[in-house]
Amino acid sequence: MGRNFANMGDPASAFDGNLENETSTPTLDVEWDGDSRFLMNHSVKNISWSGFTVTVKDRQTKKARDLIHDISGDVQQGELVALMGPSGCGKTTLLNVLARRPAASGAKVLGDSYVNGAKVDIGSFGRMTSYVEQEDALIGSLTVRETLKFAADLSLPSSVTKRQRMDRIRTLLEAFGIQNQANTLVGTPIRKGISGGQKRRVSVASQLITCPKILFLDEPTSGLDSTASYEVMSYAKEIARANNIIIIASIHQPSTTTFQLFDKLLLLSGGRTCYFGPINNVSSYFGQIGHPIPAHTNPAEFLLDIVSSDFGGAKGNAQERVQQIQNAWASSEESDIIVRHVSERARESEKAAGVLSAEDMARPGPVTITAALLHRSFIKSYRDVVAYGIRIAMYLGEYLPLSLVNTS
């Protein structure tokens, strides 16, 4: 399922109107470094974190309760990492903490994160990362190409020329296999557009337009069938591998083929780590601690079963099993190695600090942003006539009775 950019042609033709007529299957040649060079991550070698704990006050007992407890990890450039666990295990909380977003209302966050072994201020961190929400925040009355264009206009500085922007948009359309839908509307409740899997790819592509070094995905396969889920994650996998981008995604229960796309797994239960390491080592590790994965079984489904304690008649036995798995990880050599690696990198933070200077901290000016928002709003208004017609009718319905009362 390779994707090849080599025959993309002149970037100046990105908006020539013929993009949707291309029929070749997009593949990615990881050795080619042409138009996709803007995506290449040369600066961020790794992201690591140590002792992340998020505590909130329980509304019923009024006592402190940990949403996640003492989570450590380490991810290298080019890796695709899965945060997995049963519902309520702390996946999204951890993802938000890693992305430096609010973890929960009134939450207290402990722990440290490092990029190349150095602590990074939130401004620089924001410029080198992007976050894709679980729900697609797309405007249905825009086309796929327009969605990427406005994402570029609202985030890229004026130093990125129009030609370069067109080049980036064309590259991303090709990279995510949506060049044939470039002129198709995203879709509204009353007007059919692209499919759910294509919407998810558009969401990811719109965040990659700013060339993030680290990309966070919150449940990118939620609501998709197994085929669409595999499709979305395979595109993400090859983008990460070809451009050295770090991608960390929370995911619930992937199929076997989707699960095998990931390089690493961080398995959570009750806010605690049950496993963190290469996907290829999952089977041997759980076999060593007394939970071998049966043959011809979806590993993700099996792991979720053994780390879930909320369902089933023998709830006490399930809780005991989960605690045993958590304790086995906490005392394992693999856990010690991760903590040691994070500590070693943190000691070299001064050496790493020079690598972390932002390549381009510039933002578009207020005039540019205002013009882009007005342009986008204008397009939305004349294409989504029904919605605006209903709104006008509502305003008239409120105004006319008041005017009649005043005249009487």
| CATH number for the domain harbouring residue 118 | 3.40.50.300
pLDDT given for residue 268 in this prediction: 96
The answer to whether position 21 is within a domain reads: yes
Q: Phi-psi region for residue 71, left (φ > 0), alpha (ψ -120 to 50) or beta?
A: beta
Cα distance between residue 265 and residue 250, in whole Å: 10
Residue linked to tokens 């949707």: 20
Strand, helix or coil at 78? Answer: coil
pLDDT given for residue 20 in this prediction: 36
Residues 6+ apart with CB under 8 A from 6: 29, 32, 34
pLDDT given for residue 189 in this prediction: 76
pLDDT given for residue 47 in this prediction: 93
**How many domains is the chain built from?**
1
The answer to whether position 280 is within a domain reads: yes
Q: Which long-range contacts (CB under 8 A, 24 or more apart) does 317-324 make?
A: 322/269, 322/270, 322/274, 324/289, 324/290
Cα distance between residue 29 and residue 162, in whole Å: 26
49 touches 35 (CB < 8 A) = no
The answer to whether position 399 is within a domain reads: no
15 touches 182 (CB < 8 A) = no
The answer to whether position 381 is within a domain reads: no
The answer to whether position 263 is within a domain reads: yes
Residue linked to tokens 């989707």: 258
pLDDT given for residue 316 in this prediction: 67
Which domain covers residue 108, as residue numbers?
A: 11-371
Question: pTM for this one?
Answer: 0.82
- Look at residues 309, 267, 269, 302 and name the one whose alpha carbon lies nearest to residue 287: 302
Q: pLDDT truncated to tens, each residue of the chain (408 aa)?
A: 444 433 333 333 333 333 333 333 333 333 333 456 788 888 899 999 999 999 998 878 878 889 999 999 999 999 999 999 998 898 999 999 999 998 878 889 999 999 988 888 888 888 889 999 988 789 888 999 999 999 999 988 888 889 999 999 999 999 898 999 999 999 887 788 999 889 999 999 999 998 899 999 999 988 888 898 999 999 999 999 999 999 999 998 899 999 999 999 999 999 999 999 999 999 999 999 999 999 989 999 999 999 987 765 556 688 899 999 999 999 999 999 998 888 887 766 555 454 444 445 667 888 889 999 999 988 888 887 666 667 677 777 777 776 666 665
The answer to whether position 2 is within a domain reads: no
46 φ/ψ angles, rounded to the nearest 5 degrees: -165, 160
The answer to whether position 390 is within a domain reads: no
The answer to whether position 189 is within a domain reads: yes
Q: Give the DSSP letter string of 375-396.
A: HHHHHHHHH-HHHHHHHHHHHH
Cα distance between residue 248 and residue 120, in whole Å: 18
Strand, helix or coil at 91? Answer: helix
